[in-house]
Amino acid sequence: MYDLLIKNGLVANEYGVYALDVAVKDEKVVALTLHGQLEDASAHKVIDATDKYVLPGGIDSHVHYDLSISDAMTAQSAEAGSRAGIWGGTTTYIDFSMTAGDDSLITSIEGKLEKTRAQNPHSDYALHAIMSGDWPLQTAGEIEEAISGGIISFKFFTAFKGSPTIGGMMSDDGRIYSAMLETEKHGGIVMVHCEDECIIDFNIRKLYAAGRQEFWNIGEARPPLAEEAAVRRMLLLAKRTESPLYIVHVSAKDSLEAITEARADGVNVFAEALHPNLLFDPSLYKQDEGQRYMNYPPNKPIETRDELWAGCIDGRIHTLASDDFTIPLDRKLAGDTIDNVTGGTNSVETRMSIFWSEGVAKRNLSVQQFVNLTAAGPAKLFGIYGTKGVIRPGADADIIIMDPNVDHTYDQEENLHSDCDYSNWDGWTVKGMPVTTILRGNVLVDGGKWVGPTGIGKFIPGKSPEKV
């Protein structure tokens, strides 16, 4: 007897879409059959997915929960973020531990995992490790032990040396190079926030001298050149070390071109896009409460956003993430200059539906590429594919049922579920919505209601990244 049978749906993976039924037992997918081969009586619970897509649960490979960078930037809990994620079809998220200065990398990872477990997240989770600031040489020596414990990805910043809002995060190229030597040797991957601190510093001083320090000039302070310059430096280091490299939130056209050229030259590099960067315009900064649309790097003009969409469609971009860092609106609005405006975006819940609506429904993004970007790609890159990111026998039964015909309007007071008191997607109407979210065979959300258990998320250790 199966625990769950999902029948009459269109099951998708990163390669195609198939008319199959899915059988689940003991939290795992155990069978895929042609429609009608399994009787309803063979399962305790049956879901009819006629005219709907049956997709792997979303994997958001870039969220920040329970993280405090400054008084202004303190994120919501893992419980709240995972709750919002489940409602939006994200069944696994990848958060970050934080190591600063002389902190032990292993101790920070252990502390983050202990804190996350105590918050009883509703979805499964993996972990990246941030190594920030001027950390000592011996910290790189801890990377091998971290990888052996299932933490295979290490994040660095090429900017934020002294910002009052996000200060002390920057690590120099030598430290990042030393980390790449370790990740190449032991089967890990380096991920980098790429903006050039020196170019940004010059632009900020220039704008202040001209009396133009208002935050809406952030695009001039942090132009596409700042991102491209840092990307190209990291590509060189990755080429020389042969370490896999993951560029987070690629937002500049020239950066994407540099990554594409490097891949053609054999560099093992991958690009991440964020759905806010695909849709939000720099002109929004001049609206009332314009700070709410600000994240780092800042929004780019239409020609770059069109190129990012093209990269999602043709495969030059490899993952679609949210970079969820949810902070209350009053803190979000506190910064008003180019060097103290906060980052952070409330986006984990909306990632899957916004990307489906704007990508699949409006721009002819294929369903298999949707799966690749939102689930299979991040699972492969961060070493959890086969357990997560795919519907096949032996995989965790993390499944969403996507109704492509649903029109859904987000309402902050009615149907958004994070701990945040605002959303930039409030009032936004999508075409297509996850109507059922299943974690390891447990139906958690169905038909607009939470119907399953709570707090059942568990840690998923990663293995070496696969190429995508």
The tens digit of pLDDT for each residue in 276-285 reads 999 999 999 9
Residue 387 has pLDDT above 90, yes or no: yes
Locate the domains of the chain by residue range: 2-55+391-450, 58-381
Query: For 36, left (φ over 0), alpha (ψ -120 to 50), or beta?
Result: left
Name the nearest CA neighbour of 342 among 163, 131, 198: 163
Q: How confident is the model at residue 215 (pLDDT cuts 50, 70, 90)?
A: very high
Give the DSSP letter of residue 109.
H
Query: For 266, left (φ over 0), alpha (ψ -120 to 50), or beta?
Result: left
User: What does the alpha-carbon distance between residue 250 and residue 191 come to, in Å, rounded to a whole number?
Assistant: 12
Tokens of 305: 């956003």
For residue 240, count other CB atoms closer than 10 A to its CB: 13
Please give the model's pTM, rounded to 2 decimal places. Answer: 0.97
Dump pLDDT digits (tens) for 4-54. Answer: 999 999 999 999 999 999 999 999 999 999 999 999 999 999 999 999 999
Tokens of 236: 């060189």
Q: Residue holding tokens 């971009």?
A: 317
Determine how β-strand 399-409 pairs with β-strand 429-439. antiparallel
Q: List Cβ neighbours of 14 (8 Å cut-off, separation of 6 or more).
A: 368, 369, 371, 372, 375, 376, 377, 390
What is 58-381's CATH topology? TIM Barrel (3.20.20)
Q: How confident is the model at residue 384 (pLDDT cuts 50, 70, 90)?
A: very high
What is the arithmetic mean of pLDDT over 71-88? 92
Q: Say which CATH class 2-55+391-450 falls into.
A: mainly beta
